[in-house]
Amino acid sequence: MKIDRDAPVGVFDSGIGGLTVAREIMRNLPAEKIVYFGDTARVPYGSKSRETIIGYSRQIIRFLKEQKVKAIVVACNTASAFALEAVQEEFDIPILGVIEAGAKVAAQVTRNKRVGIIGTEGTVGSGIHAEVLKKIDPEITVIGKPCPLFVPLVEEGWTHDPVTVEVASRYLRELQEKDIDTLILGCTHYPLLRSTIGQIMGEGVTLVNPAYETALELGRLLKEQDMQSTGQGQSDFPYRFYVSDLAEKFKGFANSILPFDVEKTQKIDIEKY
């Protein structure tokens, strides 16, 4: 299959969290165009079953393929944990998740081999981070803590609210007691709470942001497969945004965190795919 190097990269998430991945792609791979889909009608994914998430991921990938993307980033830890393997086998397009890149860095930076992972119930319950980390270094101990309220707090825009600080303090207390020195932000919404999480955990704990690491991994993949954009036509069509609901709310949020002015967000019927 002939790949158009200047085709966009598809990025999808259950909502706005994947914008942290899109932001890192914009910063680190500025020549690449992006088509982003946020499944705002069905967020959060963290409490849903594996079968449901695989079904959602299939629909979104079909939509992104219709947009003629050359590669896809599953910018959602829950979908990466539950659906990545299934969709990689099913679709003839390079598909990356967000788990492996972050796990590799956590294994490199931990000094005491005690790594914490925070994420949705689905992601933490899947044990996928522990699996990947133990393949790299069997001596690593992984301590997981689901933080289900973080996604709705971020989606509400309460990233620096006292309520969020109180919730985060309660969730993270358990990890503070377990003597971890590295913490993976195992949900793409969580980098938006990075300053709060960092403050609570203290300077002795390294926070790993898989969004950044995934952008670098995407760059390596595009280079290896000779799919790097030439940068042509970038000004005509840099970034497009689609959602399954609440287009205006999404646009407002995107404008608050992206280094790019989002003029339009289009709502589509994802169930058709």
Name residues whose C-beta falls within 8 Å of residue 183's C-beta, 6 or more positions apart in sequence: 115, 116, 117, 118, 175, 197, 201, 205, 206, 207, 208
User: Binding residue per annotation — 188?
Assistant: yes
User: Binding residue per annotation — 45?
Assistant: yes
The DSSP letter of residue 179 is: T
Q: Which of 187, 215, 246, 247 is catalytic?
A: 187
Query: Are 194 and 168 a contacting pair, CB within 8 Å?
Result: no
User: Binding residue per annotation — 273?
Assistant: no
User: Binding residue per annotation — 46?
Assistant: yes
With 0-12 / 13-18 / 19 or more C-beta atoms within 10 angstroms meaning exposed / middle / buried, residue 4 is exposed
CA-to-CA dists, residue 219 to 32, 114, 137, 237, angstroms: 10, 29, 25, 20
User: Binding residue per annotation — 13?
Assistant: yes
User: Binding residue per annotation — 189?
Assistant: yes
- Is 147 known to be catalytic? no
Name residues whose C-beta falls within 8 Å of residue 1's C-beta, 6 or more positions apart in sequence: 92
Name residues whose C-beta falls within 8 Å of residue 11's C-beta, 6 or more positions apart in sequence: 18, 21, 22, 25, 34, 35, 36, 37, 72, 73, 75
- Is 187 known to be catalytic? yes
d(CA 211, CA 25): 9
Euclidean distance between the first and the last CA atom of the chain, given in angstroms as a whole number: 22
Whether the bond between 44 and the residue before it is cis, its omega within 30 degrees of 0, is: yes
d(CA 175, CA 146): 11
Q: Which of 76, 84, 185, 197 is catalytic?
A: 76
Binding site listing for substrate: 13-14, 45-46, 77-78, 188-189
Bind-site residues: 13-14, 45-46, 77-78, 188-189
Q: Return the active site residues.
A: 76, 187
